[in-house]
Amino acid sequence: MYGGMRGIKGLVTETSVLDPEEGIRFRGYSIPDCQKLLPKAKGGEEPLPEGLFWLLVTGDLPTEAQVRALSKEWCKRAGLPSHVVTMLNNFPSNLHPMSQFSAAITALNSESKFAKAYADGVHKTKYWEVRDETIAEYVYEDSMDLIAKLPVVAATIYRNMYRDGKGIGAIDNSKDWSANFTSMLGYEGHEFTELMRLYLTIHSDHEGGNVSAHTVHLVGSALSDPYLSFAAGMNGLAGPLHGLANQEVLVFLRKLQKELGEETTDEKLKEFIWKTLKSGQVVPGYGHAVLRKTDPRYVCQREFALKHLPNDKLFKLVSQVFKVVPPILLETGKVKNPWPNVDAHSGVLLQYYGMKEMNYYTVLFGVSRALGTLASLIWDRALGLPIERPKSMSTDGLMKLVGK
């Protein structure tokens, strides 16, 4: 209760389960399974996130035709209301991209079919005890709309902050979700699009207790619509111990390069890591609340790097850090998992393809996280799960309970 409820089982989440030793399985499928079994784009080798969403919602592997239909469906739903575009275009350039992202998602709730249906009057005696299919359907429609709109919101933020702000171009309904996203961001290369397909697939879901997934579930349990629930989750993802760690890793690597040069010895690297720890800071990208082995999401990004950018200097540094950090964290005697997590690797891949704006990285994580958290939210409402309200105790009450 004082330790962040670590290990306490209190949630049911169907979409994925995290094994401490093996890592994530989406509806029973590991990341290598998904890479093998989910449909790919024509000429592509990485799984399409559309297929993963299908799997998370239904529990079944989709066919190619089902995935293509989902890509088209999301193209159709991608438009933003003008007030959200105006709002995005008026944000000051010093407002963090995650704040812009979350605020825009909140404002998108003007489009919520669930909120409208609710306002039109579902009888209060029917909130919970009737398994009201209409509620689940509205949540499904809102979730589909929101997922479709997120790349447009995210790309608008990117163009406004780091490019000329002249707009993101039109959605092309012959392209998949990731390909449209990369071209809206202003990137055209096939390899970057492949990276985005992989990235958006593997960041989607990590069972139910992590900060972003739990928040979406909790806020949704108050019958806040999917836009409000997901925006709340994004505010949690923006924390440095959670999703913001991918930004922090790059800040850390750049600082390291500035102090030690682009190439350094293991000895100097060790000193730098100890200095970081002694100054009371964490090594970002390492450790996990549940995992006890190297994160398979790290491993598949490393494999992508070995295939496409084996000689990149920053990748080599990330590999050197991978060798040096775990024994040091073990030596501290308190870190339960000294191995790298997903965030230790994602930034170096993005940098290689020219996306150097590290403050933006968590927004990409957020676009992906919609797939898992909204798939779960659809099921929460389909099952008519009640408002979440665990009991808390005071220290005084606890002491009495244990007879002190």
Least separation in angstroms between residue 373's CB and ligand AMX is 13
Query: Counting contacts by CB under 6 A, is residue 286 touching ligand AMX?
Result: yes
Q: Write out the binding residues for ligand AMX, residues 215-244 only, by CB under 6 A.
A: 241-243
Residue located via tokens 């009495």: 400
Q: CA–CA separation, 332 vs 140, rounded Å?
A: 47
Closer to ligand AMX by Cβ: residue 336 or 400:
336
Describe the chain by its helix, strand, coil percentages, rounded to 5.
60, 5, 35
Q: Which is nearer to ligand AMX, 290 or 385 (CB)?
A: 290
Cα-based distances in Å from 89 to 99, 108, 166, 167: 14, 15, 10, 10
266 is catalytic: no
**Closer CB to ligand AMX, 159 or 242, in the complex:** 242
Closest approach, Cβ 380 to ligand AMX, in A, equals 21
Using Cβ positions, the residue closest to ligand AMX within the complex turns out to be: 287
Amino acid at 160: N
Is residue 87 involved in binding ligand AMX (CB under 6 A)?
no
The CA distance from 232 to 304, in Å, is: 32
- CB 347, min distance to ligand AMX, A: 12
- Total residues in contact with ligand AMX, by rule CB under 6 A: 22
Which residue out of 96, 214, 217, 288 is catalytically annotated? 288
Per CB under 6 A, 285 contacts ligand AMX: yes
Sign of the CA dihedral running 190, 191, 192, 194: positive
CB of 192 to ligand AMX, least distance (A): 22
- Residue 343 bears catalytic tag: yes
Q: Does 283 bind ligand AMX (CB under 6 A)?
A: yes
What single string gives the DSSP state of each residue in 107-121?
HGGGG-HHHHHHHTT
Residue 18: beta bridge partners?
Answer: 24
3-state SS, residue 22: coil
Residue 277 or 385: the one with the smaller Cβ distance to ligand AMX is 277
Give every CB contact of residue 70 below 8 A, 6+ residues apart in sequence. Answer: 50, 51, 53, 54, 62
For 69, phi and psi rounded to 5 degrees? -65, -40
By CB under 6 A, residue 151 contacts ligand AMX: no
Strand locations in 278-401 (E)? none
Least separation in angstroms between CB 336 and ligand AMX: 3
Site string for ligand AMX, 192-211 (x = CB under 6 A): ------------------x-
Binders of ligand AMX among residues 330 to 349 (CB under 6 A) are 334-337, 341-343
Query: How many CA atoms within 13 Å lie on the side-chain side of 153?
Result: 31
383 binds ligand AMX (CB under 6 A): no
Nearest residue to 143 via CA among 363, 374, 312: 374
The DSSP element (H or E) to which 138 belongs, if any, is: helix 133-162
242 as an active site residue: the answer is yes
Q: Which residues bind ligand AMX (CB under 6 A)?
A: 6, 210, 241-243, 245, 277, 282-289, 334-337, 341-343
Catalytic residue positions, numbered = 242, 288, 343
